[in-house]
Amino acid sequence: MYSLTKTKAKACDKTPKKDPASAKKLRQYRRRSQKHILNTRLSKTKKSFPKNSDWKPDALGFVPGIKEINFGPTFAVEDLHLDAIATADPAFCERITTISLGARQSHEDIAITDDAVTRLVAACPNLITLRLDAAIRLTGSCLPSILQSCNSLTTLAITGNNKNIGNLADEHIEALCTNPNLRGLAPKLKSFDVRLATANRDELATSSLLTVLTAMEGRKGKLEVIFQHPTSSWEQTFKNGEVKQEVKRMQMDAFIEALEYAQFDAAEDSDDSMDSEMSAMIHAAF
């Protein structure tokens, strides 16, 4: 009687063993499902234009849910492209939180003007990220308009590229420090990238302005300014009125920027889902 009960108990305790191959397939299926969901979400909120032939301005105001507009590094962005966004459906413009164009590591110049940027930010007041890389014609006269229009802005970039330096004037950076009407604007601004953007050959003069800017009340402890003078191969990061070198961060930035450049090259022969997947990989690296 005892041995029979014990045998039954052992039989009840036995559970079917999991097949390792089946468990692996299940994990792969879950990963594919999660990736598909992520790509679907990204494709609904992001619109990319890898090259000029992909440009379809008539459809901008009719794309529901779009929050990000990204131009590829080889897309020759001009004022007419920014004006097409600025004159789109107002409800569409108010949803836009990210606009990025150009690439600092490319040799492609972006021929946009301060006036066009001013019109753009006036139409898109909810921008959080605005990257104007390789925009070598910008002088910075658009900076007051950017800060006045985009109260939620956290990331701003006006840079040159590896071929040509920009024309960002120190007087417009100085206005951010001295003009009392500009000091409290865009209080959430955390990153200001001006690498290869300054036209001033006096490196110390620009550095002094950036030191003052990051030490100001309301900016101190929040704002970081990344600066690379055109005559130097090194970069500086200004924060709290001080200069600090961040070699690891610069290496990561270079990797991310190169990956973004490759993303748009690959996108020329791929669909939006592949573009979204690559974008997710890029942002996951941070």
Looking at residue 217, which CATH number applies to its domain?
3.80.10
Task: For residue 13, tell me if it sits in a domain.
Answer: no
Q: How many domains does the chain have?
A: 1
> Does 278 fall in a domain?
no
Please write the tens of the pLDDT for every residue from 224-256: 999 988 777 778 899 999 988 654 445 555 666
The percent of the chain in helix, strand and coil, each rounded to the nearest 5, is 45, 15, 40
Mean pLDDT of the chain: 80
* Position 14 confidence tier, pLDDT thresholds 50, 70, 90: low
pLDDT of residue 240: 93
Those residues whose C-beta lies under 8 Å from the C-beta of residue 225, and which sit 6 or more positions away, are: 192, 193, 194, 210, 213, 214, 237, 238, 239
The pLDDT of 277-286, averaged and rounded, is 44
pLDDT score at 42: 45
In a domain, 133, yes or no: yes
The structure tokens listed for 216 are 């100001």
**Residue 43 belongs to some domain of the structure:** no
Write out pLDDT tens, residues 196-232.
998 777 788 888 999 999 999 989 999 999 998 877 7
Asked if pLDDT for residue 277 goes beyond 50, the answer is: no
Q: What are phi and psi of 60, to 5 degrees?
A: -60, -45
Q: CA nearest 178: which of 209, 156, 205?
A: 209
7 in any annotated domain: no
Residue 283: the pLDDT is 43
* Full residue range of the structural domain in which residue 215 is found: 66-245
Res 203: pLDDT: 80
What is the Cα–Cα distance from 77 to 150, expressed in whole angstroms?
21
Phi, psi values for residue 272, rounded to 5° = -65, -30
pLDDT band at 276 (very low <50, low <70, confident <90, very high): very low
Most confident of the ranges 25-34, 46-55, 72-81, 232-241: 72-81
Q: Write down the pTM of the prediction.
A: 0.73
Using pLDDT thresholds of 50, 70 and 90, give the confidence band for residue 10.
low
Checking if the pLDDT of 83 tops 90, the result is: yes
210 in any annotated domain: yes
% residues pLDDT > 70 (the chain): 72
Q: Confidence band (pLDDT; 50, 70, 90) for 36?
A: low
Token digits of residue 182 = 């500009």
Cα 135 from Cα 286, distance rounded (Å): 25
- Whether the CB-CB separation of 191 and 155 falls below 8 Å is answered with yes
Of residues 78 and 278, more confidently modeled: 78
pLDDT confidence of residue 248: 46
| 102 token code pair | 């150009």
Domain assignment present for 8: no
Average pLDDT over residues 192-197: 94
Q: Is the pLDDT of residue 81 over 90?
A: yes
- Answer whether residue 269 is part of any domain: no
> Looking at residue 260, what is its pLDDT?
60
Q: What pLDDT, in 10s, does the model give residues 116-173?
A: 999 999 999 999 999 999 999 999 999 999 999 999 999 999 999 988 899 999 999 9
Distance CA 144, CA 240 (A): 22
